[in-house]
Structure 1
Amino acid sequence: MQDADVRRSLAETSSGRAARFVIEGPEGEIRGRFNLNGIVRGAFDNADLGYWVDARLQGRGFASAAVAHVLGYARHELGLHRVQAGTLPHNLASQRVLAANGFTRIGLAPRYLKIAGEWQDHILFQRLLEEGISEGISAPSGRP
């Protein structure tokens, strides 16, 4: 199953439909993953942001700094107009990460994604990239 996921991710990245980023720990282990998925060009120029961070890094600013980096890449390297993201209603930490990066809430999507075998509601957010991306955001202190 992991092999198929890696092959799919590589194909999406090489075709320009996705961009992948990781936070590496001191031994090269993956401590977080950030994805721009479903990149659509043309009149939309949009992507969906998804991410997770190792529980040991949560609350230390790594997710906020990584999202800022990904938004800069989306604007400057990919030339996107908009990035959207969704969170489970109870995921306040992720909502804080999005708010810290200038995302605005655009609504509730009932039964949006199937997670743990159940269709679950999500709060949707967007960031219009023409509004500018903060430059010079430094990485949080401490090592992952």
Structure 2
Amino acid sequence: MKLLFTILLFISHLTLFAQADKVAGDYALTMNTKEGNVLEYKLTLSADGTFFFHHYSNILKGIPPEKNYYGKGKWTVENNLVSFVSDKQTDLDEKHTLDFSNSKARFHTKSAKDKTDRIVKTRLQFLNSEIFWMKRIELLKV
């Protein structure tokens, strides 16, 4: 019985690691307006469970026109739902000011069961965040 339990536990851990490897990588979104304004979002999810985020905006009539925002912390995935946490003591400083705690994003990819020719871009869609401008943002895997 102990052997069976150990085997089941081992298999469940392999499944979790395989899912994390699938999600890990670089994600980005760039938006340009007709007026020449630029918004860029870049997120790196490392296989070790850490993340780094950079947001760049160049709003021509903004004061100042160019702004950079950074965030970092840890991430986990369960059932295609990625959860983010930023430790106020170690992750937040003068440069890294974005607190991603309580942020959640859905991981979307083409299902292995889908045998059609349709193209489904791998992406992260933020569902909830205390950073108000991150809600509903979709970042595509690069």
- TM superposition score category, shorter chain reference: 0.3 to 0.5
Higher helix share: 1
Specify the structure having the higher radius of gyration (Cα). 2
The alignment's TM-score, normalised by the length of structure 2, stands at: 0.33
The alignment's TM-score, normalised by the length of structure 1, stands at: 0.32
Higher strand share: 2
